[in-house]
């Protein structure tokens, strides 16, 4: 299982999802709701419904559920009998509390790409 906003989908996200799927045979992705993004000080370009539809179209993803709070992870891991929790290593250590419930894996981020970079590159391109 993994969590994220997954806005303006890019190869960094795909690399994470592909590697996460290698840890099991069923990958659940909890996508941040628009309201939860506000708690992360993030304003996604795509709505939750759009981001959900995009993630559901990815071959590595088996199920998409909403992420509404920081506190839901333990319950999610228990309710979905999750074996492995996977996140990019920008979160290294942040979710170690889950280790009593499942394996916790932090994977190296894909260097050189991010939703923020896409937005700033596009702004530069359009504004000269």
Helices (H), 1-128: 11-21, 34-39, 48-56, 73-79, 115-127
Reading the block at residue 43, the tokens are 């304003």
Binding to ligand C2G (CB under 6 A): which residues in 102-121? 109-110, 113-114
Q: Is 40 a catalytic residue?
A: yes
Asked whether the beta carbons of 67 and 36 are under 8 A apart, the reply is yes
The only residue of 8, 67, 98, 102 in contact with ligand C2G, by rule CB under 6 A: 67
- Count Cβ atoms below 10 Å from residue 68 Cβ, excluding itself: 14
Among 1, 21, 64, 88, interactor with ligand C2G by CB under 6 A: 88
Number of residues written out for the chain: 128
CA-CA distance, 88 to 14, in Å (whole number)?
Answer: 12
* Eight-state DSSP code of residue 119: H
21 in contact with ligand C2G (CB under 6 A): no
Non-local (6+) Cβ contacts of 127 within 8 A are: none
Per CB under 6 A, contacts with ligand C2G among 26-65 are: 32, 40
Stretch in the footprint of ligand C2G (CB under 6 A) among 5-13, 57-65, 76-84, 118-126: 5-13
Which of the stretches 1-9, 56-64, 97-105, 119-127 binds ligand C2G when contact is defined by CB under 6 A? 1-9
Q: Residue numbers of the site for ligand C2G (CB under 6 A)?
A: 3-6, 12-13, 16, 32, 40, 67, 87-88, 90, 109-110, 113-114
């Amino acid at each position: 299982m993994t969590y994220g906003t997954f806005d303006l989908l890019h190869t960094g996200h795909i690399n994470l999802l592909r590697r996460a799927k290698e840890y099991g045979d069923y990958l659940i992705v909890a996508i941040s709701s628009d309201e939860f993004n506000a708690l992360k000080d993030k304003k996604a370009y795509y709505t939750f419904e759009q981001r959900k539809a995009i993630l559901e179209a990815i071959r590595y993803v088996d199920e998409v559920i909403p992420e509404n709070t920081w506190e839901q992870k333990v319950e999610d891991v228990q309710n979905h009998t999750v074996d492995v929790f996977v996140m990019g290593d920008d979160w290294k250590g942040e979710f170690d509390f889950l280790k009593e419930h499942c394996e916790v894996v932090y994977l190296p981020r894909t260097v050189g790409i991010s939703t923020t970079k896409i937005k700033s590159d596009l702004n530069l391109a359009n504004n000269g």
